[in-house]
Every structure is written in C-alpha cells, then in structure tokens.
C-alpha cells in the first residue's frame, strides 16, 4: 500500500472489554513496531517484529497486551480486559530493513478510549 | 537505558523567523541515530531530519538543520523561515542500530502570523 494503515482510527471500549487494533504496514517492509502514546506525551515502545518473529516485547505493560504478525505482514495488537489507563493512541510503524539505517514510516494511529 | 529530554514544553515563533528546539539524551552507546519527528493534529508522525552519530557534519534538510554535539549529548533542531504549516508537536528520538525509537516528551511549536 501507499502507507502504513491502521484501523480503526477511533475505538471506544467499556472497561473490561477486549479490543483488537490492526496495522497494515507498507508492502515488503520487514520490521514492524507498536508504540503507545499517552495524551501529551511521546510515544513509548511496546513491541517489535521482524517478519513474523516477535523479537522484542519488553515494552508491553502487562500480560493483558498481546501482539501478533502471523504471516509477516499485517499485525494485530490485542488488549484484554481493558482498563482506563489503557486509553492512549496506539501507533504502528514499519521499516523496509532489519537495521536502523532506514526511515520508520508511521500510521495515523488508533485512539483508544476506555470508559 | 537510553533517555531523551526535551526541556521546552511549548515554543512560539513569528512567521519567517528562526526557532531552535532543544534536545539532550543519555546513552552509553557509541553508534546510534538521532531523529526529529513532527506530529501535526492528524497524529501522522513525519520524519523531519535524521543524524548518524558517527557523522560529524550536521544534517540539513531545506529549512531544517541540527546542531549535533556528541560529547555534550545534545541534538537541537533549528527551523529557519518558519511557516504556518510548521505548527505541530516535535519529538526528538534516539535509536541504536536496528532497534526501537526512544522519544522525548515533545515540544509544541506554534508559528504565529
């Protein structure tokens, strides 16, 4: 595709509900990252995939957060039993290479509001 | 762990003037990359400029340039001839090779006409 696509753009969830956020990276991009951006803050790293392998999940805040990229392209970030502190913008980024030598392309994010 | 500090929560500048946004970082790495990203209200994170730590020459992209002081761990962004479209949140970010970005808290820049 032309850019990184994320859906939905907005999601309102009741506390305790499960949600799934989708990221469609640029075709052929090897690396995919998820970030969480709280209101008025900088994005914080959640997890990183190289193709289908999840190489780093050190930023996931709890075991309620789960990410997958089963075929090395589309990725889904799942949050179980959502809580109010999960309210944030979730950004996805992809890069064409395995190294940090190329630009990361970001999607427009999904704004999650837990009520 | 790496940290990135942006000490200016908000900045204002008159159209056509120059403004400098500050950024400092802390790392024990020798090889890494530094970035400035722009995030307008649309939330789309847009790369403004990047700097490889092994390069002594400061990066420049049209009206945007950086002052990279490796020993001082400082990486400021200068925007010349500011335009209304430059109004956005600006994030300084650090990355060691092949890995995740570590962002600062951001600086809101408002360009006034």
pLDDT of residue A99: 65
Q: Does B96 touch chain A (CB under 8 A)?
A: yes
Q: Is A109 on the interface with B (CB under 8 A)?
A: yes
Half-sphere exposure of B56 (CA within 13 A, CB side): 0
Q: Which of residues 3-22 of A touch B (CB under 8 A)?
A: none
B2 pLDDT band, cuts 50/70/90, is confident
Question: Using a CB-CB distance cutoff of 8 angstroms, which residues of chain A are in contact with residue B91?
Answer: 42-43
| pLDDT of amino acid B97 | 67
- Asked whether A49 and A69 are in contact (CB, 8 A), the reply is yes
pLDDT tens for each residue of A29-71: 999 999 999 999 999 999 999 999 999 999 999 999 999 999 9
Of B39 and A98, the structure prediction assigns the larger pLDDT to B39
Is 90 exceeded by the pLDDT of residue B56? Answer: no
Q: Is the omega angle on the peptide bond into residue A8 within 30 degrees of 0, that is, cis?
A: yes
Are B45 and A91 inside 8 Å of each other by CB?
yes
The first and second tokens of residue B1, run together, are: 């762990």
Name the 3-class secondary structure at B84.
helix
* Rounded CA Rg of chain A: 13
**Whether the predicted pLDDT of A1 surpasses 60:** no
What are B100's two structure tokens? 């995740």
Cβ of residue B2 closer than 8 Å to a chain A Cβ: no
> What is the predicted pLDDT for the residue at B57?
93
Q: Is the CB of A90 inside 8 Å of chain B's CB atoms?
A: no
pLDDT band of A96, cuts 50, 70, 90: confident
- For residue B30, the model assigns a pLDDT of 87
Name the band, by pLDDT with cuts 50, 70 and 90, for residue A2. Answer: confident
């Amino acid at each position: 595709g032309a850019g990184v696509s994320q859906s939905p753009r907005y999601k309102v969830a009741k506390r305790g509900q499960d949600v799934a956020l989708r990221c469609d990276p640029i075709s052929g991009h090897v690396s995919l990252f998820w970030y969480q951006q709280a209101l008025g803050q900088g994005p914080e790293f959640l997890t990183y995939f190289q193709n289908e392998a999840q190489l780093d999940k050190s930023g996931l805040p709890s075991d309620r957060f789960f990410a997958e990229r089963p075929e090395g392209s589309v990725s889904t970030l799942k949050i179980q039993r959502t809580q109010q502190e999960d309210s944030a913008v979730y950004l996805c980024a992809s890069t064409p290479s395995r190294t940090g030598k190329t630009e990361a392309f970001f999607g427009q994010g999904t704004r999650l509001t837990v009520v | 762990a790496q940290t990135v500090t942006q000490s200016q929560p908000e900045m204002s500048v008159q159209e056509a003037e120059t403004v400098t946004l500050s950024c400092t970082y802390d790392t024990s790495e020798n090889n890494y990359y530094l970035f400035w990203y722009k995030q307008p209200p649309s939330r789309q994170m847009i790369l403004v400029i990047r700097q490889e730590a092994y390069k002594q020459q400061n990066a420049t992209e049209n009206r945007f340039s950086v002052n990279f002081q490796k020993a001082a761990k400082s990486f400021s962004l200068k925007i010349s001839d500011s335009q209304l479209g430059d109004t956005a949140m600006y994030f300084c970010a650090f990355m060691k090779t092949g890995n995740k970005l570590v962002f600062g808290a951001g600086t809101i820049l408002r360009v006034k006409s």
